[in-house]
Structure 1
Amino acid sequence: MRCEIRHTTTYAYPKPAWDSFNEVRLHPSREARQSVRSFHLLVDPDAEISSHRDYFGAIVHHVHVHAPHTHLTIEAQAVVDTHPVPDPAPVPFAELRAARRDHTEFLVPSPRVPGGDWPEVFGVARPAPGDDLPTFLRDLTTTLHRGLTYDGEATEVHTPLAEFARHRRGVCQDYTHAMLGIVRQLGVPARYVSGYLVSGGGMVGAAATHAWAECFLPGQGWLGFDPTNDCLAREKHVKIGHGREYGDVSPVRGTYYGGGQGKLDVAVHVYGDQ
């Protein structure tokens, strides 16, 4: 699928701000399931822009505006081709032993996905060593989708996972952190993915950046599961990058001097063409 993406972040300040510095993770990743045809980062006013790859391999742009300004617009434009993802082949849980040694960083607790009895908290039965891993993950995706309520007003970016677990209302970030907490406790390496959804088709989360989980399947690699939409991450999912949790891949974050209390506006448009 050919996907055209326009992601615009606008800051407006009541008084001039200066020395504004933003860390931008909006460049789609290049991997087997997607190809990047083009990417452009447009900034107004003029800015000093540099880039590097972070620990997890994502391209990070640094946007630095030195002069006083009362607005800042950062627009990312990309064209991405996504490719079909095959259904996973059966593999028992017992085959995860070697993967646990190789992917420890996606098993250990992190600030937003702390250790805990998350399978029991979310009412998920622990699998047996001979149970099929892909089937369990697909069933878990459905269980979370049905047991949680999507509510954009219920949580904020720093809401703890334990609080979300009590109220069961939140957004894709919360759904993904819940799935990561559950499967990591069961010994499944899993990572947080930030990306986009193609607009249309009734998918929840297409109006902003989206989040889902990637779980490691021995012999098959990483496969995406989207509990917000009860599906595998396929051609309508465009990946930006991955990390342990949201904090590793937040799209735009930064600091500035002066300006007063700034106002933030974000607009995301993703169009897909077969």
Structure 2
Amino acid sequence: MRLSVDHVTRYRYEAPVRGVQQSHRLTPADFDGQKVISWAVDVSGGIKGGTFRDGAGDRMQAWSVPGPVEEVTVTVRGTVETNDTAGVLKGLRETVTPACYLIETQATEIEGTLQALADAIEADGPLALAHKLSAAVSRAVAYKPGVTHAATTAAEALALGEGVCQDHAHVLIACARARGLPARYVSGYLFTAKDGTPHEAAHAWAEIHISGLGWVGFDPANECCPDERYIRLGSGFDAQDAAPIRGIARGQVAVAPEALDVEVQVVAGAQQAQGQSQ
């Protein structure tokens, strides 16, 4: 499937700041299920800095915007050819050991209810366990926008029983780690016109490492493994670590708070999929 992305992020400040520094994980990598046809990232008034690939195979790009500045717009446009690999991540060049993804973070801390959810699953082998854990998370956390926020932890989302794709991914990651399976957070895009479900085009899911098979993606929000509808941007220990854009504004940010607006569209051919504004 050939998918095209139009992703615009705007940062606005009530008063000018002295400058903005950003680190981007906004360029997808090539692997067996994904080939980049064209891709461009632009930052209004920005100066491109250094770039490198981290140990997980993600391309990192630095940008700086000299001030004074009141608005910064990050525009991403590109086209990717995708194939269904049944969720198995093949052909991505990585150097980090999967065992490092057993480390807990604040967002994925294994609290008692998460441990209990994980321990309740019986399965014959790690792959079957991963599938059953994902299904259990889908049942335990209903998809409902607006009830959680960026800092909501896996334990908090499970207690609420509601959340969005970020929460589903965090809960699954915590449960997998609780059972000794390395797991990580994945950010990307989802073409949703196939089933019409109201999920964001900017999407997130989890990957669980299965010995002898490698990383396998699981999307509890959609009760499936990633297929040709998904574009994978990058990964990390949790949502904050895998964020497509991370940055800081220099200046009196407390006096000049930041307003954020995001618009994402994913299209296949001439058909428009999903747009999301926040």
TM-score above 0.5: yes
1:206 aligns with 2:188: no
Partner residue in 1 for 2:80: 80
Label 1:253 to 1:103 Cα distance change in 2 as closer, same or farther (>3 A): closer
Query: What is the 5 A alignment of 1:13-32?
Result: 13-32=13-32
* Partner Cα separation in structure 2 for residue 118 and residue 213 of structure 1: 19
SS in 2 for 1:64: strand
Distance 1:84 1:165 in 2: 30
Work out whether residues 18 and 66 of structure 1, in 8 Å CA contact, stay in contact via their aligned partners in 2: yes
Cα deviations across residues 184-210 of structure 1 (Å, max 9, x unaligned)? 111222111111101312244333x21
Three-state SS of the structure 2 residue aligned to 1:84 is coil
Shift in Å, 1:118:
5.0
2:263 partner letter: A
The answer to whether the 8 Å contact 2:118/2:179 transfers is no
What is the Cα-based RMSD across aligned positions, in Å?
2.2
Distance (whole Å) between structure 1 residues aligned to residue 87 and residue 79 of structure 2:
25
Which one-letter code corresponds to 1:107 in the other structure? L
Correspondent of 1:172 among 146, 165, 173: 165
SS of aligned partner of 2:158: helix
Matched, 1:224 2:217: yes
| Cα distance in structure 1, aligned partners of 2:241 and 2:176 | 19
Residue segments in structure 1 that go unaligned for 5+ positions in a row: 89-101
Q: What corresponds to 2:110 in structure 1?
A: 115
The alignment status of 1:265 with 2:261, answered yes or no, reads: yes
Seen in structure 2, the aligned counterparts of structure 1 residues 141 and 84 have a Cα distance that, compared at 3 Å, is same
| Structural mapping, 1:144-183, within 5 Å | 144-183=137-176
SS in 2 for 1:231: coil
CA distance in 2: counterparts of 1:41 and 1:220, whole angstroms: 33
Task: Compute the displacement of 1:63 (Å).
Answer: 1.5
Q: CA deviation at 1:122?
A: 3.1
Q: Does 1:247 align with 2:240?
A: yes
Deviation at 1:117, TM superposition (A): 4.1
Secondary structure (helix, strand or coil) at the match of 2:148 reads coil
Distance 1:167 1:119, change over 3 A: closer
Between the aligned partners of 1:212 and 1:116, the Cα distance in structure 2 is 20
Greater shift, 246-255 or 102-111, is seen at: 102-111
**How far apart are the structure 1 equivalents of 2:14 and 2:115?**
48
Kept after mapping to 1: 8 A contact 2:118/2:176:
no
Match of 2:94 in 1: none
Shift in Å, 1:168: 1.2
Gaps of 5+ in 2: 89-96, 272-278
What stretches of structure 1 move > 6 A for 4+ residues in a row?
Answer: none
Q: TM-score, normalised by structure 1?
A: 0.85
Count of residue correspondences: 258
CA distance in 1, matches of 2:84, 2:226: 10
Of all paired residues, the percent bearing the same amino acid is 31
The range that moved more, 46-55 or 189-198, is 46-55
- Per the TM alignment, residue 62 of structure 1 is displaced from its structure 2 partner at its CA by 1.4
Question: Which has the higher mean CA deviation after the structures are superposed, 144-153 or 19-28?
Answer: 144-153
Is 2:133 aligned against 1:133? Answer: no
TM-score relative to the length of structure 2: 0.84
**1 CA distance for matches of 2:87 and 2:159?**
33
Distance 1:87 1:76 in 2: 25
CA distance in structure 2 between the partners assigned to 1:87 and 1:107 by the alignment: 20
CA shift digits 1:92-151 (9 cap, x unpaired)? xxxxxxxxxx522112322221234455543752436xx143333223322222221222
Give the match's secondary structure for 1:29: coil
- Per the alignment, do residues 264 and 132 of structure 1 end up closer, same or farther by CA in structure 2, a change over 3 Å counting? same
- SS of 2:240's partner is helix
Instruction: Report the equivalent of 1:91.
Output: none
Q: 1:4 is matched by which residue type in structure 2? A: S
Counterpart in 2 of 1:96? none
